[in-house]
Amino acid sequence: MTQEEAVLATLEEYADAYCTKDIDRLMALFDDGDDISLIGTGADEFCAGRSEIQAVFMRNFSDATASRFQRHWRHVTIAGDSAVVAATMTIHLDTEDGPLQVPVRWTVSLVRRSGQWRWLHRHASSAAASQEEGSAYPAVGNTSQA
């Protein structure tokens, strides 16, 4: 297995663990210790440390069940024992109100320790709905402050 394949395998493991709501497998992808971070699509989803990241995932699990991660585009950069994955995908969810498809943009930062790729940071975002193609920013009046 190439290093790129090993890095991408962590994304597949994440998707499988997320869809089965296996919090232990999900957290095992992250580097040991509390020097890890996460930014999600929710306005309040930014945190650091194992317990805070786990709490975000548990909230996600209580709100919906993911059935599939449909990948569209990806780019992998590896420099020594560090890697970055940028990707776009659609997450297919089953919610109390019915099926939901969420288009997301992902960035994952990884480090290789003892031959294993571990996540240091995961960022997920959705494109601004009010931002037209070819425009650099969302439409005026359709923004919020973080």
The residue among 1, 30, 7 whose CA lies nearest residue 78 is 7
pLDDT at 117: 98
Answer whether residue 136 is part of any domain: no
Instruction: Name residue 77's beta-bridge partners.
Output: 84
Answer whether residue 141 is part of any domain: no
For 84, residues 6+ apart whose C-beta sits below 8 A from its C-beta are 76, 77, 107, 108, 109, 110
The 10s digit of each residue's pLDDT in 70-86 is: 999 999 999 999 999 99
Answer whether residue 44 is part of any domain: yes
Answer whether residue 143 is part of any domain: no
Averaged over 84-110, what is the pLDDT?
Answer: 96
pLDDT at 42: 87
Answer whether residue 50 is part of any domain: yes
Answer whether residue 138 is part of any domain: no
pTM for the predicted model, two decimal places: 0.89
The 10s digit of each residue's pLDDT in 16-30 is: 999 999 999 999 999
In which element (H, E) is residue 10 found? helix 3-19
For 132, residues 6+ apart whose C-beta sits below 8 A from its C-beta are 139
pLDDT at 67: 97
Q: What is the CATH number of the domain that holds 120?
A: 3.10.450.50
Instruction: Count structural domains, the chain.
Output: 1
Q: Which domain holds residue 20?
A: 3-125
Answer whether residue 70 is part of any domain: yes
Answer whether residue 117 is part of any domain: yes
